[in-house]
């Protein structure tokens, strides 16, 4: 009982908090990245609920913020470049979903590169999820939860929501139940999100430290329709450095990077392989 009272006080405080404050909900995602392979992987995702919107994304980069900051500050102090990609863990997912309150209009974004400039490619949509709320109740972790089912994205989903947490939000694009979704998984168990904890963030940042300090910073947001988004992002995944290639003359490619035992060409080759490996690692998308 005390646990639920303290949680309720925490959530009520959101109504009077500043925009830089948020409640962070940690969801463990268990998923099958390959259609033909039953092997599952796990990654921690986060839902940050702020005053007038929520943000859902992979937690990996944000979890590495302190390490990344220390690495970058050490480079700045030494005055030499250092490749920190090997010490920073790569996320499993690069998308971000922002839901506006109270209408729940969503912005789905992915980061791409246009020339030497990072861009956040965005499409917006209104997603209506038709839930069937069932009388069945179950304890999910520390939460009293009720069952609901729906069809979404070509999959059949079962969700468990808790009225103890007064937000009609949840992981990924899921929303619209009378309480926070604490668990949701599809019938094939390709994707299963389960709430593992929460904490108050007093100095909320939409972007990770690495995104803020990289050349070009967080970049600009470019909004397109969903069809244009899918086409542009698909082309980017096929050739991530297509927009940079015209600037990569033989002289530039042969230039040695200060403080690193590699040329610009070698670095581009390494980065290109890393990105292609990243995008090819999952051929089993959550929305079929």
pLDDT tens across 25-80, in order? 999 999 999 988 889 999 999 999 998 999 999 998 888 777 777 777 777 777 76
Residues 228 and 59 sit within 8 Å (Cβ to Cβ): no
The stretches in the chain having pLDDT less than 50 are 1-19
**Strand-pair partners of 197:** 26
Our measurement of the distance from residue 168's CA atom to the centroid of its chain's CA atoms, rounded to an integer in Å, reads: 19
Residue spans per domain, the chain: 2-129+164-280
Considering only CA atoms, give the Rg of the chain: 21
pLDDT of residue 178: 97
State the Cα–Cα distance between residues 69 and 74, nearest whole angstrom: 8
State the Cα–Cα distance between residues 128 and 152, nearest whole angstrom: 9
pLDDT of residue 179: 97
pLDDT of residue 9: 40
pLDDT of residue 259: 65
Q: Torsion angle, CA of 148/153/155/158, rounded to 10 degrees?
A: -20
pLDDT of residue 268: 83
pLDDT tens across 73-98, in order? 777 777 766 666 666 778 899 999 99
Left (φ > 0), alpha (ψ -120 to 50) or beta: where does 53 sit? Answer: beta
User: In 184-219, which positions are buried (b, 16+ CB within 10 angstroms) versus exposed (e)?
Assistant: bbbeeebbbbbbeebeebeebebbbbbbeeeeeebb
In this prediction the pTM is 0.85
Nearest Cα to Cα of residue 57 among 43, 42, 40: 43
Residues 23 and 11 sit within 8 Å (Cβ to Cβ): yes
Nearest Cα to Cα of residue 262 among 254, 272, 251, 273: 254
């Amino acid at each position: 009982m005390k646990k639920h009272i303290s949680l309720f006080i925490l959530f009520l405080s959101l109504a009077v908090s500043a925009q830089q404050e948020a409640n962070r909900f940690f969801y463990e995602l268990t998923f099958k990245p390959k259609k033909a392979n039953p092997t599952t992987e796990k990654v921690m995702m986060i839902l940050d609920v702020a005053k007038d919107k929520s943000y859902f994304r992979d937690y990996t980069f944000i979890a590495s913020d302190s390490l990344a900051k220390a690495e970058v500050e050490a480079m700045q102090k030494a005055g030499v470049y250092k490749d920190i990609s090997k010490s920073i863990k790569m996320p499993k997912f690069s998308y971000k979903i922002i839901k506006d309150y109270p209408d729940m209009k969503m912005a789905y974004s992915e980061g791409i590169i246009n020339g030497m400039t990072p861009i956040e490619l965005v499409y917006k949509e209104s997603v209506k999820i038709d839930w069937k709320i069932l009388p069945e109740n179950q304890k999910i972790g520390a939460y009293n939860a009720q069952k609901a089912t729906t069809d979404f994205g070509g999959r059949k989903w079962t969700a468990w929501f808790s009225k103890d947490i007064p937000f009609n939000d949840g992981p990924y694009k899921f929303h619209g139940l009378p309480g926070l979704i604490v668990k949701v998984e599809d019938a094939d168990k390709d994707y299963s999100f389960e709430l593992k904890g929460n904490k108050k963030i007093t100095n909320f940042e939409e972007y990770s430290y690495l995104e803020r300090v990289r050349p070009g910073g967080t970049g600009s947001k470019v909004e397109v329709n969903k069809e244009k988004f899918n086409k542009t992002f698909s082309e980017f995944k096929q050739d991530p450095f297509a927009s940079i290639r015209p600037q990569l003359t033989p002289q530039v490619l042969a230039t040695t990077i200060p403080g690193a035992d590699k040329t610009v060409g070698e670095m581009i080759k390494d980065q290109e392989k890393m990105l292609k490996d990243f995008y090819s690692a999952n051929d089993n998308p959550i929305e079929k």
